[in-house]
Structure 1
Amino acid sequence: MALLSETEVKQTLEQLPEWKLDDGMLRRDFQFDEYLKGVDFVRQVANQAEAKDHHPYVIIDHTTVTIKWFSFDQGGLTDKDTAMAAYCDELFNLK
């Protein structure tokens, strides 16, 4: 698993336009109309993260869920982060 180059990070941000760089991490805020819908979303992300052995930062703030991806073992962003960000988008779009 190699670190993404600056060019690859830019391409990722083009492919995942809702995601932003935040202190070197991929970050997105997801909005829900109810607190428990956000909690359910986090539970589903957590199940996938556990299955992939790649875990995000998660903040639940009433109806906003913030997720950040970063490969700490590599010291930057990798394909694991982009794949999990894409998974979050797909899951959110199913709601």
Structure 2
Amino acid sequence: MSVLTEQHCEACNAESPGVSDEEKRMLHKGVPGWSILKVSGEEQLRKEFEFRNFAQALAFTSKVGEMAEAEDHHPAILLEYGKVTVSWWTHAIGGLHKNDFIMAALTDAAYH
């Protein structure tokens, strides 16, 4: 499998397959620190990023938003003073797709 940050999202619709349990285990290894949570019955990837102040957190939020627009795959983002929580899942399928792991990896890269 190639590095997640070198991949791009593919277009999804309601019939797109989610990741299998085996794919999920393998892909999850590529995004350390991300939790897989069930929210309202849907699996999501979630991670908190810490910053020294609101301005840095806001700049990171904008960077993630620009990446999301470029890949046409959009997260839930909670911006707080010194902290940003990012959640990725594929709305069209109500769960996790490979795209979510790609975007989680790209989010990590934007943080460093």
Q: Same fold (TM over 0.5)?
A: yes
Shift of 1:90: 0.6
Normalising to structure 1: TM-score of the pair?
0.91
2:105 maps to what in 1? 86
- Do the aligned partners of 2:68 and 2:74 also contact (CA within 8 Å) in 1? yes
Letter matched to residue 44 of structure 1: K
Aligned residues: 93
Shift of 1:2: 2.6
Find 1:56's aligned residue among 75, 98, 111: 75
- Structure 1, unaligned runs of 5 or more: none
The RMSD of aligned alpha carbons is: 1.1
Please list the CA deviations of residues 13-64 of structure 1 after superposition, one character each: whole Å capped at 9, or x if unmatched.
2221110012110000000111111100010110111121111000012111
Matches within 5 A, 1:13-92: 13-23=28-38, 24-92=43-111
2:31 is the alignment partner of 1:12: no
Deviant stretches of 4+, over 3 Å: none
More helix by share: 1
CA distance in 2, matches of 1:14, 1:82: 10
